[in-house]
């Protein structure tokens, strides 16, 4: 009996530590009226707009405890949006796409102004009886460290800990959220959503049991598909600068977190320009413009060999894990596993930022692992959309899937 009591006490402690008291503080970010929600939803979604909202949506910024890449306790922030009166359909975790701009973190949104992806996530799900939460991630929102880009497996922890914090917050507010849990996200957030779904699968706590998951346009195969994408020679400036922008965000993390100098990766002029840019509260537009100007002055001819250090370029080409950048990509692949809950992988057919090959690699790996088509399917967004315009139709498909399963997404296969 003594051993049994000790075992039960240990289980209680484990449950508290996993689902536990992660909520640190909360603050109101305002309220969106029914009219505002529907107006913004119609503008954002067009023909893909879900059914109209019938309740105002309250917005809250919450601060909660999590851990960083060194397993040290940190406080992170995120946004909560829920319909007044309750969210009977459950909780949606929406993982946002890539931004270097701290001011674009979801928790900064107070119901006014422009915040495209945040607004689409709020109106797309809160309008339908869901509570939706958007973690800022490490290095964004109020957290001042470097953002671990594109480390999906690391960033998934911010979503997991926010789930328990929001459940505690809802109890504090005497607000009812249905027990169902849904996971989705787009672009970088698609990779985070995939990693979060995988992480939650290992927990037995009821609050972590995923009902359905819908990662969208995510870089699941970082070491293969994404690495090859970064190495593609497009011969034109837009694609060239885009690849360097994504690469720079990852190397900035290695520079800030690991102390690896930027001139390990880039030739001197670009290394110096990026170092200055990332120290000055960068914006996405600012970094992209800076890369374009600097590489033009370097007479790069839009070729990677003219701006990257030869050793780094060779390591990328050979997928050499002795290189810290390449190793980081390999450690954060999130495609080769077996989901136990229904999953719909959404992708844009002609995506010029995150190749749809990521989704094909993932679905092929899951099929080899024995995951049946009755559990995991894909849904394509047609070529009339691109990576930027595909967010709204992706959220619309995720909403339909969360509402009614695969049967509500006829094109799923």
For a pLDDT cut of 70, what percent of the chain falls above it?
A: 95
| Alpha carbon distance 398, 290 (integer Å) | 36
Mean pLDDT (the chain, rounded) = 93
The answer to whether residues 208 and 221 touch, using CB atoms and an 8 Å cutoff, is no
Confidence of residue 4 (pLDDT cuts 50, 70, 90): very low
Parallel, antiparallel, or unpaired for β 343-348 and 181-186? unpaired
pLDDT in the model for residue 13: 35
Strand ranges of the sheet holding 23-32, from the earlier edge strand across to the other edge: 23-32, 57-67, 73-83, 130-135, 90-95, 181-186, 212-216, 343-348, 376-381
pLDDT in the model for residue 207: 87
Phi and psi at 405, nearest 5°, equal: 75, -165
The answer to whether residues 344 and 362 touch, using CB atoms and an 8 Å cutoff, is no
pLDDT in the model for residue 171: 95
Span 227-249, average pLDDT: 94
**How many CB atoms are closer than 10 A to CB 57?**
24
pLDDT in the model for residue 205: 86
Which candidate, 234, 248, 233, 227, places its Cα nearest to that of 357? 227
Span 164-174, average pLDDT: 96
pLDDT in the model for residue 235: 87
The answer to whether residues 189 and 135 touch, using CB atoms and an 8 Å cutoff, is no
pLDDT in the model for residue 6: 39
**How many CB atoms are closer than 10 A to CB 90?**
18
pLDDT in the model for residue 9: 36
Confidence of residue 350 (pLDDT cuts 50, 70, 90): confident
- 404 preceded by cis ω (within 30°)? no
Confidence of residue 21 (pLDDT cuts 50, 70, 90): low
pTM above 0.75, yes or no: yes
Q: Which two tokens stand for residue 340?
A: 């136990």
pLDDT at 206 over 90: no
pLDDT at 83 over 70: yes
Q: pLDDT digit string (tens) for 28-68? A: 999 999 999 999 999 999 988 998 999 999 999 999 999 99
More confident residue, 18 or 193: 193
Parallel, antiparallel, or unpaired for β 181-186 and 212-216? parallel
Q: pLDDT digit string (tens) for 101-117? A: 999 999 999 999 889 89
Q: pLDDT digit string (tens) for 265-291? A: 999 999 999 999 999 888 999 999 999
pLDDT in the model for residue 204: 83
């Amino acid at each position: 009996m003594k051993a049994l009591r000790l075992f039960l006490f240990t289980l209680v402690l484990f449950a508290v530590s996993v689902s536990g008291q992660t909520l640190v503080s909360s603050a109101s970010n305002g309220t969106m009226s029914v009219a505002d929600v529907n107006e913004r939803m119609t503008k954002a979604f067009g023909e893909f707009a879900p059914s109209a909202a019938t309740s105002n949506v309250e917005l809250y910024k919450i601060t909660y405890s999590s851990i960083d890449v060194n397993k040290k306790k940190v406080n992170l922030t995120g946004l909560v949006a829920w319909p007044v009166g309750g969210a009977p359909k459950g909780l949606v975790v929406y993982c946002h796409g890539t931004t270097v701009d701290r001011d674009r973190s979801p928790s900064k949104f107070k119901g006014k102004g422009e915040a495209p992806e945040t607004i689409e996530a709020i109106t797309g799900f809160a309008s339908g009886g869901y509570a939706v939460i958007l973690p800022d991630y490490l290095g964004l929102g109020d957290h001042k460290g470097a953002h671990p880009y594109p480390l999906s497996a690391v960033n998934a922890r911010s979503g997991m800990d926010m789930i328990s914090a929001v459940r505690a917050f809802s109890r504090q507010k005497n607000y009812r959220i249905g027990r169902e849990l849904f996971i989705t996200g787009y672009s970088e957030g698609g990779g985070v959503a995939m990693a979060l779904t995988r992480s939650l699968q290992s927990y037995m706590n009821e609050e972590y049991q995923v009902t359905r998951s819908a990662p969208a346009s995510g870089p699941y195969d970082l070491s293969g598909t994404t690495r090859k994408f970064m190495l593609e020679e497009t011969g034109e400036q837009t694609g060239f600068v885009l690849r360097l922008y994504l690469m720079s965000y990852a190397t900035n993390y290695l520079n800030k977190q690991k102390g690896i100098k930027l001139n390990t990766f880039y030739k001197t002029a670009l290394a110096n320009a990026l170092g200055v840019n990332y120290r000055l509260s960068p914006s996405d537009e600012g970094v992209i413009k800076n890369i374009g100007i600097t590489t033009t002055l370097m007479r790069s001819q839009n070729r990677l060999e003219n701006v990257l250090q030869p050793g780094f370029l060779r390591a990328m080409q050979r997928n050499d894990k002795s290189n810290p950048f390449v190793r980081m990509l390999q450690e954060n692949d999130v495609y080769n596993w077996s989901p136990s809950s229904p999953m719909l992988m959404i992708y844009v057919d002609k995506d010029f930022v995150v190749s749809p090959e990521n989704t094909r690699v993932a679905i092929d790996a899951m099929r080899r692992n024995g995951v049946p088509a009755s559990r995991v399917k894909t849904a394509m967004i047609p070529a009339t959309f691109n990576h930027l315009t595909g967010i709204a139709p992706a959220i619309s498909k995720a909403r339909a899937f969360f509402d009614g399963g695969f049967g509500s997404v006829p094109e799923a296969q």
